Amino acid sequence: MRLRILLTVVMALLATACSNNITLGLPACDRPPTDPTGANVLVAQAVPRAAYAPCINSLKLGWDEVELNVESGRASLEIGREFSRFLEVSLTETCDVSSATPVDSSLEGASRYEDLTIVRQEIPIRLIPTGERPRLHALMLAEQLGGTRLDDRPVEFSVDENIDFEVRTRVNDALFDDQYVWIINDLDVEEGTLEMRMTADGEGLRGLTVGAALDRLEDLVPNVTYKGQWFFVFEGGCITYDFDAEGTVAVTLDQDAAEAIGFYDNAALIEAGRRAGYTLIEE
């Protein structure tokens, strides 16, 4: 009986605690440096010399689990759904960008780098005709098949009209651009078939009808994927976006991440604290 009373009291306290919203929560972008949340302060304490710290503008639909992990030297936001993490945004003092490519940065005083592996939602198919008659046939086919969807993903057809170039070179170019290759020759025009080629040199699948080729493709195309890193390097720190998403969440993840995650002015927070009498960095 006494145990039940105790449990009831504890549960009531926990419920009150939750309703009073005194939990740590997440670092908010909309709080001024003079009135930060506890989470903003804790993240700043992790890497106190960093000019910026990650913060949340607004959570996106489907970002069901957002967890803040903070320790000295590192703060991270882990974002996921159904026990699967698809994005981790971390603040550290340094980061290794040697394998990444520099890109334009919109963040003042920060350099941006990317190292990504992307499988877009659109399934690109390059039709490579081997002569004039096949070229006309390919153009007609691309027109007819416009709007086709595979696994609810749009299929984009394009026709390589450079019929004077060597087929092998054209196939190579298409594969290099992560496109699927359908080769159409005169016999294919006669018989309404095509050849699906996976490699530049190897044998393709000949004599496929369009329907059969699409069926084959359905088994071959990988999931929509957004994997890799964005790096923002600035004075005193680095923010890394670590993406590992497949499927529907990957379709708009880059836009969602850019909108939802912001950059908190950490330097201003530390300075505001110093003016209020709290010294967080050794002078």
Q: Which residues pair with 114 in a beta bridge?
A: 101, 230
Give the residue with the Cβ less far from other proteins, 47 or 183.
47
| Token pair recorded at residue 54 | 């990650």
Is 16 a binder of other proteins (CB under 8 A)? yes
Is 11 a binder of other proteins (CB under 8 A)? no
Report the distance separating Cα 246 and Cα 85, nearest Å.
11
* Least spacing, CB of residue 13 vs other proteins, in Å: 5
Q: Which stretch of DSSP H or E encloses residue 168?
A: helix 167-176
Among 34, 69, 101, 223, binds other proteins (CB under 8 A): 69
Q: Which stretch of DSSP H or E encloses residue 127?
A: strand 123-129
AA letter at 213: A
Q: Which stretch binds other proteins (CB under 8 A): 37-45, 128-136, 172-180, 226-234?
A: 37-45
Structural contact between residues 77 and 24, judged by C-beta atoms closer than 8 angstroms: no
Q: Which stretch binds other proteins (CB under 8 A): 15-23, 88-96, 123-131, 190-198?
A: 15-23
Report the distance separating Cα 40 and Cα 213, nearest Å.
54
* Least spacing, CB of residue 73 vs other proteins, in Å: 8
Q: Which stretch binds other proteins (CB under 8 A): 21-29, 101-109, 238-246, 256-264?
A: 21-29
CA distances from 75 to 33, 62, 118, 261 (A): 18, 22, 26, 14
Is 17 a binder of other proteins (CB under 8 A)? yes
Per-position b or e across 143-179, b if 16+ CB within 10 A of its CB: eeeeeeeeeebebbbebbeebeeebeebbebbbeeeb
CA distances from 205 to 14, 156, 170, 202, 221 (A): 64, 20, 17, 10, 16
Per the listing, tokens 């306290």 go with 13
Among 8, 23, 144, 169, binds other proteins (CB under 8 A): 23
Q: Coil, strand, or helix at residue 154? A: strand
Q: Which stretch binds other proteins (CB under 8 A): 39-47, 91-99, 133-141, 181-189?
A: 39-47
Among 11, 32, 34, 38, binds other proteins (CB under 8 A): 38
Give the residue with the Cβ less far from other proteins, 47 or 171.
47
Considering CB under 8 A, how many residues would be counted as binding other proteins?
27
Among 42, 66, 142, 175, binds other proteins (CB under 8 A): 42
Is 39 a binder of other proteins (CB under 8 A)? yes
Site residues (CB under 8 A) for other proteins? 13-14, 16-18, 20-25, 38-39, 41-42, 45, 69-73, 273, 278-282
